[in-house]
Amino acid sequence: MEAKDEEKCKQIDIELIEIDLEIAQLQKRKSDLIKHKEQLKYLSYQRQTDLISDKKKWTHKDFPWYNIVQETLKNKFKLETFRPQQLAAINITLSKHDALLIMPTGGGKSLCYQLPAIIDKGFTLVVSPMVSLMEDQIIQLNKFKINAKMISSYSTKEETKLLYQMMIDGKSMLKLVYCTPERIAKSKIFMTKLQKAYNLNLLSRIAIDEVHCCTTWGHDFRPDYTHLTIFKPMFPDIPVLGLTATASSKVITDTQKLLQIQGCALLKATFNRPNLFYEVKWKPDNKECLDEFESLLKNKFKNQSGIIYTTSIKDCENLKKELRERGCKVGAYHAQLEAPLRTKIHNKWLNGEYQAVVATIAFGLGIDKPDVRFVIHHALSKSIENFYQESGRAGRDGKKSTCLLYYKLSDVFKLSTMVFTTQTGLPNLYSIIKYCLNSKDCRRKLIASHFDESWESIDCNKMCDHCSTELTTKRISITEYCKDLYEILNVTSNNDMKLTAQMLLDSWYGKYNKKMKITNIKPPTFSRMRAEMIVGELLVQNYLAEDFHFTPYSTISYIKRGSNHSKLLQDHQIHMYISKEKFIEPNSKKIKFL
């Protein structure tokens, strides 16, 4: 190519980059606007339903079923008192209103349909996403001598036939029927029986567990849940009770729309788990990290039970192996193991043979071990939502437990390359990076804002790393560092090279200076750890952005300028907070403070 044309091409390239950046900015604005609109819609729904959700009204004693509800709680379920929102939910659904109950995992959602099921004539249909969850509940209910059955692909022909008979027999005393959403979607015969039961006034209510699976905005969308839209047209006067631990307004409005229960009662229990201590730690290199984990298991958490979450099956197996070699009693749990083996590992953990399970997120739904004293995240979760759920498996018994998250920049890209293709993948991931990088605010407060709740540090009661120590924080400008990084990106892109975050950091420290002819950059005088913190901060503030490229074997995340880059031209300053206490550099007794 002639030099003139080459020059032109370069010009066009620059323009193309600028267009990309503008598109990214517009897209961000679009998604912000959509979010704002949803929030407004949600607020207006909430106003509409305020009357119906009026707490005082729904916990009054003058419901005709008051006595029998209290009696059933004590005599059937052997429980003393209701937890927050349980009584209101029960009264609403017994009054035949539709409702969504939003309550953190472990809060006691099941009771809100199990108890009314016993009181009403006929049976309650429960839609649940997993056979193992249904099995657990049925075993429990049968222990209480409550007639509950399930229908799944494991049911024999005889069992199914018997269940169908019971569903349309007013004298059968059948109280709960559990099924998966696939059954609603795919089994005409089941739907026919349901219709018949309805005509005989034997279908008393429909409970939909993990109802956020209806929407792609939730964290585990299940396409078969969309078939549940059929319930309202088919059974218009049958109350629907949706249950979830996902509280985002988008999920709620979407779910209401799909189930055709707009304007239904919304009941929300607080998400604060006061007995959980939240802490984020900077993850050291592999060996040091293993030393630290070994020490945690053998000292701080000695004789205590816990879970260690990892990102991939490979990490999970490796960590198990390494910890075992160091004499720790741990098992590995992930989706590649056969079901019987998984059950065996689960049981060994339940009976204390294993101190901890090293697990991927496949280990989750249905864990109901009350005395989990620690949940350690070996790497960050996909979102605050996921983190809250996973760490929330600690301390179900209400006793003090620890939720420890290990953060490292390179772990971010293991996850981002997995999630970036979904609509909410990256924003969700960045929300947890922000959580990790934050070096001054109460962790509880940060989690709360994600659930549209506001808790103050006083609600924390010194139960997070930031509230439990007096922090010396400082606001610093990182504008100049950002400019240096842009310069590196410019030079390398002129050389037709793309940089991953690690390569960008290497270049910043001068590794490629000669090769790339990067001349006017001063390498940082601080540790790599701090440099990583700055790069992370620039990513979440949209001054840097990820640029994903497919190869036949994997997806690579390169770094480019982010949509806020033009603000720098207008002399904008970028700031971040750092705290002295968090920055005792590894291997050095001396505290360096920028």
Which tokens in the block code for residue 202? 């034997």
Please tell me whether residue 219 adopts helix, strand or coil conformation. Answer: coil
Q: Tell me the three state secondary structure of residue 464.
A: strand
Which of the residues 104 through 133 are near Mg ion (CB under 5 A)?
Answer: 109
Q: In three state form, how does the secondary structure of 543-584 look?
A: CEEEEEEECCCCEEEEEEECCCHHHHHCCCCCEEEEECHHHE
Which helix (H) or strand (E) segment holds residue 385: the answer is helix 384-391
Nearest CB to Zn ion, comparing residues 436 and 460: 460
Give the binding range for ligand ADP (CB under 6 A) out of 99-107, 288-296, 347-355, 572-580.
99-107
Query: Mapping DSSP to helix (H, G, I), strand (E, B) and coil, where does residue 150 land?
Result: strand
Closest to ligand ADP by CB, 398 vs 586, is 398
Which one of ligand ADP, Zn ion, Mg ion, none is in contact with 103 (Cβ closer than 5 to 8 A by kind)?
Answer: ligand ADP
Site for Mg ion in 70-109 (CB under 5 A): 109
Report the distance separating Cα 204 and Cα 176, nearest Å. Answer: 10
CA nearest to 207, candidates 171, 244, 170: 244
Q: Which amino acid, 501?
A: A
- Quote helix, strand, coil % in the chain, to nearest 5: 50, 15, 35
106 binds ligand ADP (CB under 6 A): yes
Closest residue by beta carbon to ligand ADP: 108
Q: Does the protein bind ligand ADP through residue 368 (CB under 6 A)?
A: yes
The C-alpha atoms of residue 184 and residue 462 are separated, in whole angstroms, by: 47
Binder to ligand ADP among 17, 79, 230, 529 (CB under 6 A)? 79
Measured from the CB atom, is 211 or 412 closer to ligand ADP?
211
467 binds, among ligand ADP, Mg ion, Zn ion, none (CB under 5 to 8 A by kind): Zn ion
Q: Which is nearer to ligand ADP, 82 or 430 (CB)?
A: 82
**Total residues in contact with ligand ADP, by rule CB under 6 A:** 13
We find the least distance from the C-beta atom of residue 83 to ligand ADP, in angstroms, to be 4
536 binds ligand ADP (CB under 6 A): no
Does position 129 interact with ligand ADP (CB under 6 A)? The reply is no
Q: Distance (Å, rounded) from C-alpha 518 to C-alpha 507?
A: 9
Smallest gap from residue 391 Cβ to Zn ion (A): 14
Q: Strand pairing partners for 558?
A: 500, 547
Burial classification of residue 192, based on how many CB atoms lie within 10 Å of its CB (0-12 exposed, 13-18 middle, 19 or more buried)? exposed
Nearest distance from C-beta of residue 240 to Mg ion, angstroms: 17
460 binds, among Zn ion, ligand ADP, Mg ion, none (CB under 5 to 8 A by kind): Zn ion
DSSP letters along 88-131, please?
Answer: HHHHHHHTT--EEEE--TTS--THHHHHHHHHSSSEEEEE-S-H
Among 93, 105, 311, 492, binds ligand ADP (CB under 6 A): 105
C-alpha 567/C-alpha 206 separation (Å) is 53
* Binds ligand ADP (CB under 6 A): choice among 82, 231, 387, 512: 82
Identified catalytic residue from 4, 30, 109, 445 = 109
Q: Which CB sits closer to ligand ADP, 288 or 368?
A: 368
Given Zn ion, Mg ion, ligand ADP, none, residue 320, with its beta carbon under 5 to 8 Å by kind, binds: none
Is-contact 312 417, C-beta < 8 A? no
Q: Of 82 and 231, which has the nearer Cβ to ligand ADP? A: 82
Sole window of 106-114, 288-296, 308-316, 410-418 interacting with ligand ADP (rule: CB under 6 A): 106-114
Whole-angstrom Cα distance, residue 97 to residue 75?
26
CA-based nearest residue to 70, from 62, 80, 58, 83: 80
Residues that bind Zn ion (CB under 5 A): 442, 444, 460, 464, 467
Q: Is 108 in the site for ligand ADP (CB under 6 A)?
A: yes
Identity of the residue, 106 or 331, whose beta carbon is nearer to Mg ion in the bound complex: 106
Told to judge if 589 belongs to the known catalytic residues of this protein, a careful annotator would answer: no
**Which residues are marked as active site?**
109
Q: Which residues bind Mg ion (CB under 5 A)?
A: 109
Q: Which residues bind ligand ADP (CB under 6 A)?
A: 79, 82-83, 86, 103, 105-111, 368
